[in-house]
């Protein structure tokens, strides 16, 4: 039974990614590839994963001037992906132009990284705390035709209250409390109960035995 789970393939090896997906492909919705995989394997690495016929999320978190971002969006048409991430800090005008440039791709706006806390926001010069900043950015997303937003599970209900049409993609999913770099976390069940549309799972799936891990996650969602 498939769940609304994207597996984060944070590998530098194409073979490692393929081996992982082979083990859990019948239980996940899609594949998320980020900077490590994209930089190491290039377009051929992306094409290699398309054989699974699962939606691929190109998690590049694009953030640049409008002209460059439009060029980025145009280049995505040549890659077999379904989703791409872009920072909401690009602003409404740039976000609109990106969606218009590549209409076949579902763009997802990145709000505040799940590794950030209120203290991190202050140290970076933001006047808002995490929740306020997410809400501010969601207002921007609502004015565009973005498919959804990336946020932590803690902000899902606030996002849905502001714009029920925006789908929520939530990293920061952990089966139990941890001391890693993720600061705003929830279990798969908690995140689902909050209304998360898609869970993004990396280390909880890839550390140890992926087949056993996916079964634990599925059981926890029951």
Q: Quote the tokens at residue 21.
A: 């997906």
The catalytic position among 61, 70, 183, 216 is 61
Listed in order, strand segments (DSSP E) in 72-183 are: 83-87, 106-110, 148-150, 167-170
Look up 160 and say whether it is catalytic: no
Q: Which DSSP category does 51 fall into?
A: G
132 burial type by CB count under 10 A (0-12 exposed, 13-18 middle, 19+ buried): middle
Cα separation, 108 vs 88, in Å, equals 9
**Active site amino acids:** 61
């Amino acid at each position: 039974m498939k769940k609304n789970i994207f597996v984060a393939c944070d590998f530098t090896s194409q073979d490692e990614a393929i081996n992982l997906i082979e083990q859990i492909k019948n239980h996940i919705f899609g594949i998320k590839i980020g900077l490590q995989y994209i930089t190491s394997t290039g377009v051929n690495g992306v094409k290699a994963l398309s054989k699974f016929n699962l939606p691929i999320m190109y998690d590049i978190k694009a953030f640049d001037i409008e002209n460059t971002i439009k060029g980025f969006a145009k280049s995505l048409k040549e890659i077999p992906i379904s989703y791409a991430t872009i920072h909401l800090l690009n602003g409404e005008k740039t976000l609109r132009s990106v969606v218009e440039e590549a209409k076949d791709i579902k763009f997802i706006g990145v709000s505040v990284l799940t590794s950030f806390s209120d203290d991190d926001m202050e140290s970076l010069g933001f006047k808002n705390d995490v929740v306020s900043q997410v809400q501010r950015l969601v207002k921007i997303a609502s004015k565009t035709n973005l498919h959804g937003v990336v946020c932590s599970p803690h902000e899902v209900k606030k996002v849905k209250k502001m714009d029920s049409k925006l789908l929520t993609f939530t990293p920061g999913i952990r089966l139990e409390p941890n001391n890693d770099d993720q600061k705003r976390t929830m279990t798969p069940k908690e995140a689902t109960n909050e209304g998360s549309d898609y869970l993004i799972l990396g280390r909880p799936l890839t550390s140890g035995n992926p087949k056993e891990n996916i079964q634990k996650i599925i059981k926890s969602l029951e």
